[in-house]
Amino acid sequence: MNIFVIITAWLSVAVFAVMAVYRFIKFAAMPLHLRWELYPVAHESREKRRYGGSYMEEMDWVKRPRRRSLSGEISSMLAEIFFLHRVREHNRHGIWIFSICMHWGIYLFAAWIALLAAGTFFESDAMSRVANITGVAAFVMGASGSLMLAVKRVAERGLRLYTAPVDYFNLMFLFAVFATGLASWFADPGLAGSRAYVKGVISFTPVSVPPLTILNFMLLQLFLVYMPFTKLFHYIAKYFTFHKVMWDDAFKVKGSPVDKKIVEQLSYRVTWAAPHIAPDMTWLQQAQITDVAEAEAAPSPPRRVPDTAAPSEQQHAAGAGETGE
């Protein structure tokens, strides 16, 4: 382990952090999503969540202050993040157990790295034992989960039909990270090399560590750089999925920021074609067409002269046909 390895470790963390912030900002700047309007909504009261009710059932609800259940939102998100509640509920292909193993492998791997980093400053035998148990659990669960998910997608036609080659690559990349971690544990049961590696990176001090340990951490660092550019970064998007799509049941107030954003987006022109879509019309004009024949017969309106001002990021996204990731 030399100074180059240390620098690449810090660079991988920096790329991951910068891209995480960038992707969050990009998602937040995207056009409004179509709300699902599905109930129960997590921030309703316990009673309303029980039967799928809404604050709009109450008399004069528009005049009353909104009461939101933060505990309901937190419990719903925790159930999804740590127990993959919806995957278990719709476990048609029997992938929940493997998915939970892979996700918990990732969580425990992150906890293992955190424990190793903490051990750099607060060394103790107890912390070392906890770190070792956490690391081995992460390797076993992550490797078995990612491998079996890949096998299930190959073996079952229902999954294979909508699994892209990149999905297999992502799973095998994860498997390689966990498997090399497991191999490094077999070669170094006390994981002393892993502790030395993390300590060396934090202190910018080159140290001697086993080759398998270097391979494990180099794969991890490559994965940190790779992940923000892929669908594996979906956990950042889940905030918007929950709060802006599934749970957004606020009524629209005229003149509000949301109202102005809707008016702006209704003026976007449709840049793609379909039998039921009239080309080069705005979304407002599309919504006013009541049948397909009318859409096919509708003449294309004259194009607007583009504004001289630079378009916003949202307008760029809309013009390019982006709908979010």
Residue-wise DSSP of 255-317: TSHHHHHHHHHHTPBP-S-BTTB-TT-BHHHHHH--SHHHHHHPPPPPPPPPPSSPPPHHHHH
Q: pLDDT category, 12, cuts 50, 70, 90?
A: very high
Residue 271's pLDDT band (cuts 50, 70, 90): confident
Q: Is the pTM of this model over 0.75?
A: yes
Q: Provide the number of structural domains found in the chain.
A: 2
- For residues 220 and 275, membership in a common domain is answered with no
User: What's the pLDDT score for residue 272?
Assistant: 83
Domain's final residue, options 216, 243, 270: 243
Q: Quick one: 296 and 221 in the same domain? A: no
Q: Which of 176, 181, 184, 175 shows the shortest CA–CA distance to 147?
A: 175
- Asked whether residue 324 is assigned to any structural domain, the reply reads no
The answer to the question of residue 325 being in a domain is no
User: Do both 237 and 259 map to the same domain?
Assistant: no
Residue 201 has a pLDDT of 96
Q: Assess if residue 126 is contained within a domain.
A: yes
Question: Is the confidence at residue 301, as pLDDT, over 80?
Answer: no
Q: What does 31-97 look like in DSSP terms, one character per residue?
A: PPPPP---SS-TTS-HHHHHHT--GGGSTTGGGSPP---HHHHHHHHHHHHHH-HHHHHT-TTS-HH
Structural domain including 170 reads: 3-243
Among the candidates 211, 243, 275, a domain finishes at: 243
The CATH number given to whatever domain includes residue 70 is 1.20.950.20
Q: Residue 250 domain-assigned?
A: no
Residues 134 and 283 in one domain: no
Tell me the pLDDT band of 300, cut-offs 50, 70 and 90: low
Give yes or no for a contact between 32 and 262, defined as CB atoms under 8 angstroms apart.
yes
Whether residues 54 and 98 fall in one domain: yes
Average pLDDT (112-138) is 95
